[in-house]
Amino acid sequence: MLNRYCYMFALMLAFVIPSIVLAAPTLEEKKATAHKALEEFKEKGPVIREFLNKSYGYVIFPTVGEGGFIIGGGHGSGGMVYERGRLIGTASVTQFSVGALIGGQKYRELIFLEDKGTMERFKQGRFELDAKASAIIAQEGIAKDANFTGGMAIFTLPVGGAMANASVGGQVLSFKPLGQ
């Protein structure tokens, strides 16, 4: 039974990964898509704009997709990394989870980095977010008490799909400076 689910998950990845690789957009297209996603976050209320003003930098992922059944995974590429308002690189995110989960979904993710130290750790190439790093769903009237935890504040904006998820997992973020 478990082999069947592993086979289904592998089959899903076999179709998802080639579609991501074959449709690789240019940097300018990625920047435009990230800008549009950021504008969608800003429309959800003043909290996002406040975080933009007080954070040292941020990472915006226009689309992150995840899915699974008991064992899950997800990926988002095309993330744009900004330090003090200036584009400095790109990022990708890979997720993993195990537990009571079923379905698939797509969402946007915005990660604010509070200070220079957090940004420097992120720029070292691999930045792991564990189960304690929880995301706030960006919606009208986001709680004003949203705050940094461990130097980060994470917001998500649902795009589509449906997923029931009560699992344990994490995210690994990778950074690539511009020009590399």
Which tops the pLDDT comparison, 25 or 140?
25
DSSP bridge pairs for 157? 108
Domain annotation covers residue 37: yes
- The residue among 56, 61, 39 whose CA lies nearest residue 48 is 39
Domains held by the chain: number: 1
What one-letter code names the amino acid at 82?
Y
Domain annotation covers residue 10: no
In this predicted model, what pLDDT tens digit does every residue of 52-68 receive, in sequence order?
A: 999 999 999 999 988 88
Domain annotation covers residue 62: yes
Torsion angle of C-alpha atoms 154, 158, 160, 164, degrees rounded to 10:
70
**DSSP-derived 3-state class of residue 40:** helix
Dist CA 3 CA 69 (whole Å): 12
Domain annotation covers residue 40: yes
pTM (2 d.p.)? 0.78
